[in-house]
Amino acid sequence: MTKSAELKKYLDKAIKEKFAIPAINTTNMETTQSIVEAAKEMNAPVIIQITESAIKYAGFSYAEAILKTAANTPQVFIHLDHGMSEEMAKQCIESPAFAAVMIDKSKFNLEENIAGTRRVKEYAGYKLVEAELGVVGGKEEDVIAEGSIYTNPCEAKRFVDETGVDILAIAIGTAHGIYKDEPKLNYEIIGQIREAVGNIPLVLHGSSGLSDEQLRKAVAAGINKVNLDTEIKQEFIKGFTQYLEKNPSDYDLRKIFGEARNYAKELIKHKIKVLGAENKY
């Protein structure tokens, strides 16, 4: 079975058993390891995802080598997050490390979003493709959007039918990055979209800063993949700075980054529990 087929199996299981697979962004080796270790300790399937700008920061072959190693752990799946260019999506599809890619044409109109997503889906072959419909607010690396626009369930149905997309990211009032005000989520839309599109995995972007209760409600309403980035990075930095505060003269990078890696791992384990993914591998 390919990693893509395995991932599809776990996404289908998430729909059936009402849990969500955490999809955590990585920018370096230590974050990648924290996700792998959390998945192993919790016996959970996880997705490690990387954005175009994070790939460019590391260089494609460095990023690919680390991700390929991570994917040797059976319950770990690699995904391109917010592929803004079809070129990058194609490059990741061709890489043996990646099980899935996201093509994000959500800033274009519906027709262009459908056409672009369909092109990538046709190219992808057996690999899974995620696309986004509606607008998730805020800023995440290269993704900047004013305010959010809820996904329309009728449009979602048409979008899924015409693109053949495997995984659908929807907008229910979340935003990327750090929340300034308490986010108001529309859980009802999740159920309406689920009803309209049938059994396709639904993704929540901009999940950092949501309370455990909000995450649980979103999962109960039908979310199957929860993207987490900002909060994990903040926890990584917390481990880093707290170690240096306690050991100001230490310069052993392994100890400093090691502590950051532990902090990130513990938060990821907590998120796995909240999303109901513990013991789902």
> Among all residues, which ones are annotated catalytic?
81
Closest-approach residue to Zn ion (CB):
205
Using CB under 5 A, count the residues that bind Zn ion.
Answer: 1
Question: DSSP class of residue 174?
Answer: -
205-244 binders of Zn ion (CB under 5 A): 205
Minimum CB distance to Zn ion, residue 108 (Å): 16
Question: DSSP class of residue 20?
Answer: -
Nearer to Zn ion by Cβ, of 163 and 230: the residue is 230
Nearer to Zn ion by Cβ, of 116 and 239: the residue is 116
Task: Give the 3-state secondary structure percentages of the chain, helix then strand then coil, rounded to 5.
Answer: 50, 20, 30
71 near 101, Cβ under 8 Å? Answer: no
Is there binding between residue 280 and Zn ion (CB under 5 A)? no
Nearer to Zn ion by Cβ, of 130 and 259: the residue is 130
Residues ≥6 apart with Cβ < 8 Å to 254:
none
Is there binding between residue 271 and Zn ion (CB under 5 A)? no
Minimum CB distance to Zn ion, residue 206 (Å): 6
Closest CA to 274 of 30, 12, 22: 22
Helix (H, G, I), strand (E, B) or coil at 23: strand
42-101 binders of Zn ion (CB under 5 A): none
146-205 binders of Zn ion (CB under 5 A): 205
Question: What's the CA gap between 127 and 131, in Å, rounded?
Answer: 13
Give the binding site for Zn ion (CB under 5 A).
205
